[in-house]
Amino acid sequence: MPTLKPHKGLLKRVKISARGKIIRHKANKGHLMATKSGNRRRRLGKAAVIGNAAFRKIVRRQLALE
């Protein structure tokens, strides 16, 4: 089986933690900040872990980790 190339766009958007978790940034922080509450803006600034097992498997395959 040939080796897979990693998806370059995804490589720029996610990081792999030391324990193998996939960390991403949240969407909806690009513009229109005035209409969003401070709590929401703070929440959007924090990184999130991809928790869904099926989606995590797809991402790992696109990163050529599997």
Give the integer Cα–Cα distance in Å for 29 and 55.
Answer: 22
Model-wide pTM > 0.75:
yes
Closest to 56 in 3D by CA, of 43, 47, 46, 65: 65
Taking alpha carbons only, the member of 15, 23, 16 closest to residue 46 is 23
pLDDT digits (tens, 9 = 90+) for 8-58: 999 999 999 999 999 999 999 999 999 999 999 999 999 999 999 999 999
- According to the CATH classification, is domain 8-62 in 4.10.410.60? yes
CB contact at 8 A, 64 and 6: yes
